[in-house]
Amino acid sequence: MTTETFNKAKSTSPPPITNRVFVLIYAKDTDKFLAFHRKSDRTWGLPGGYIELNQQESPKDAICRETNEEIGVQLLDPTEICTFDVENNKNCKIYLEIIETEQDLNINLCPTEALETRWAQLDNWPAPQHPKMSMVITGVKQAINRQKQTIPQTTPQTCHPERQ
């Protein structure tokens, strides 16, 4: 095998697998998002988790299932807003669910997954944050700004926040 053939074969990799999904739940009345205090590592992040690939679950089905499992909420119309590259040719999709008021959300926490939830601004996320949360916040802000500039938005954006 020549070096050129090897380099070409090496650069041809399969498309990324989406294996994680998370949701930002936004309340219009307070202009805040739902922060999720994870029991596993005691950090603040978002509701979500892994896609059950062996069940051939779609990312949208997975975020609906995970949100129901973790905080007891049925999402009505989650919209994919961006995708992040994570590691090992895998990526993570972020969805947005918009509600009118904070009171519209009837939260029923799963005691094995969550400690609590809290409404927060993206710029004032509770601490300690999940290690990837600052990257998520930066990418989500970029996606939201792009959507404001290009209405109507036809496809979800790939987030490329600066690595920290």
Q: Which of left, alpha, beta for 49 (phi over 0: left; psi -120 to 50: alpha)? A: left
What range does the domain containing 146 cover?
15-158
**How many domains does the chain divide into?**
1
The CATH number assigned to the domain holding 104 equals 3.90.79.10
pLDDT of residue 144: 79
Of residues 10 and 91, more confidence is placed in 91
Distances from the Cα of 33 to the Cα of 3, 23, 29, 130, angstroms: 51, 10, 11, 15
Question: Strand (E) positions, the chain?
Answer: 17-27, 32-38, 44-45, 48-50, 79-85, 90-99, 114-120, 157-158
Residue 7 lies in a domain: no
* pLDDT reading at 26 higher than 90: yes
Pairing verdict, β 79-85 and 48-50: unpaired
Residue 3 lies in a domain: no
Residue 38 lies in a domain: yes
pLDDT band at 161 (very low <50, low <70, confident <90, very high): low
* pLDDT reading at 10 higher than 60: no
Average pLDDT, the chain: 83
Tens of pLDDT along 99-155?
999 999 999 999 999 999 999 999 999 999 999 899 889 888 888 787 767 644 445
Residue 8 lies in a domain: no
